[in-house]
Amino acid sequence: MLVLVNNAGVRDDGLAIRMSHDQWRSVLDTNLDGAFHCTKRALDPMLAARWGRIVNVSSVVALRANPGQANYAASKAGLVGFTKVIAREMARRGITCNAITPGVIETDMTADVADALVEHVPARRAGRPEEVAACVSFLVSDDAAYVNGTTLTVDGAMSA
């Protein structure tokens, strides 16, 4: 089973007008460039096997912008676009590529903002990592063989 889950994510928040080049680059380098390099490396063995599953973990911020997160939103929206391109390029070769856009999930990355954001979540709670993992499990399974190039939002109706 040849599976790649691109799940790297960092934030370095600040208003766009005050954001340094280093803040911008560090977030894009990790969140978007990292997924590109890992995907490129994973594709050769997937092509040889004529089977593969790629899941890119983006963010609800790719769909619903947050002030102060221009770098993060750009990197995660770019990841959604990248997902669609890889899906189109690899569809005939038995390789699927999908994205997941989690909302507020209980992780170290959201520990400093989760409480403030939960009030904007219709479900009135943060998601659990296990709930995102269950979606990844589905997308890498044979049951999802015809699911390709899509974005699965896991956000408690935050983007609805």
Active site residue 146: no
Residue 69: DSSP 8-state: B
Where helices occur in the chain by DSSP H, the ranges are: 21-28, 34-49, 70-90, 114-118, 129-139
Integer Cα distance of 40 and 15 in angstroms: 32
Annotated catalytic residue, options 39, 72, 76, 78: 72
Q: Which residues of 133-142 are buried (b: 16+ CB within 10 A; e: fewer)?
A: eebbeebbee
Which 3 state secondary structure label does DSSP give 149?
coil
Label each residue of 120-148 as H, E or C. Answer: CCCCCCCECHHHHHHHHHHHCCHHHCCCC
Give the residue carrying structure tokens 């928040």: 13
Active site residues: 72
